[in-house]
Amino acid sequence: MMLIPCPHCGPRVQEEFAYERTLDSVVRLDDGPVTAMSRLYTRANPRGEEIEIWSHVHGCGQWLRLRRDRVTHAISDVEAI
């Protein structure tokens, strides 16, 4: 139900987007095996703001970095990836 400001399309409803994961859980191709699995499975999960990765899957397809408060859902920053 959130309104997410897509850098390309402007504010659009949450249903047009798909949540992918938190930024800190991205596994890079050149991460070592231990680092990779640690990033995949061990999360900070703060009760507050977190940087998340979403994609505007039913819109322009843009991937986004969102800074979102996980308690209030308030989005304070959006960046195109």
Partner 1 sequence: MTDLIPSPADDLVALDLWRGEDVARLEAVLGFALPGPGKAVPVGSGYVLRVGPWRWWLDGDGFDGGAIASALGERGVITPLGGAWRRVRLVGDDWRGLLMLSGLFDAEVSSFGPGSVASTLLCHAPCCVHVLPDAVAEVYVPSSLAEHCFAEWEKAGWKIRLAAPAIWSA
Partner 2 sequence: MRHGSGVRAGKVPFTFNGQAYWGQEGDTLAAALLANGVKVVARSFKYHRPRGIMAAGVEEPCALVTVGDGGRREPNTRATDVFLYPGLVATSQNAWPSLSFDIGAINGRLSGLIPAGFYYKTFFGPPSRWMLYERVIRRAAGLGKAPVEPDPDGYCHRAAFADVLIVGAGPAGLAAACVAAESGARVILLEQDALPGGSLLAHAVSIDGVPGAEWARGMVDRIRAAGGRVLFRTTATGYWDDNFITAVERLAEPGQVPSGPVQCLWKLRCERVILATGALERPLVFAGNDLPGVMLASAAQTYAARYGVAPGQRAVVATSHDAGYRAAFALADVGVAIVAVLDTRSDPVGPLVHAARSRFPVHTDARVLSARGRKGVLVGLEAAIGGGRQTFAADLLAMSGGMSPVLHLHRQAGGALVHDPVRDAYLPGEGRQNHVCVGAATGEGDLATILSDALCRVPVEDPLGAAGAAWPGPVWRQEARGKAFVDFQHDVTTADLALAQREGFVSSEHVKRYTTLGMGTDQGKTGAMVALAQMADLRGVALPEAGLTTFRPPYTPVTMAAFAGTMRGDHAGPIRRLPLAAMHEALGAQWVPAGVWMRPRAYPAPGETIGEASVREARMVRNRVGIVDVSSLAKFEIAGPDALALVLAVCATPVSKLAVGRGRYTVMLREDGMVMDDGTVWRVAHDRWLVTSSTGGAARMARHWTYVRDVLLDGARAAVVDVGERWAGIALAGPSACRVLTGLINAAAPAHMGLVDATIAGVPVRVLAASYSGERAFEIHVAAHRVGPVWQALHAAVVEAGGGVYGLDAMDHLRVEKGHVVIGAEADGRTTPADLGMGGMLRKAGGFVGWQGLMRPALSETAGRRHLVGITALDDEPLPEGAMLVMQIGEEPQGHVTTAAPRIAAGEGAWIGLALLTDGVARHGEIMVAWSPVRDKAVRVWVGPPMFHDPEGVRYRD
Residue 40 touches partner 2, criterion: CB under 8 A: yes
d(CA 29, CA 35): 11
Copy the structure tokens of residue 14.
Answer: 């949450």
Between CA 76 and CA 45 the distance in angstroms is 17
Identify what 51 binds: partner 2, partner 1, none; CB under 5 to 8 Å per kind.
Answer: none
Number of residues near partner 2 (by CB under 8 A): 25
Q: Which is nearer to partner 1, 33 or 61 (CB)?
A: 61
- To the nearest whole angstrom, how small is the minimum distance from the Cβ of residue 59 to partner 2? 13
Question: What is the token pair recorded at 24?
Answer: 């800190």
**Contact indicator for 3, 14 with CB cutoff of 8 Å:** yes
Binding region for partner 1 (CB under 8 A): 7-10, 12-13, 15-16, 58-62, 80
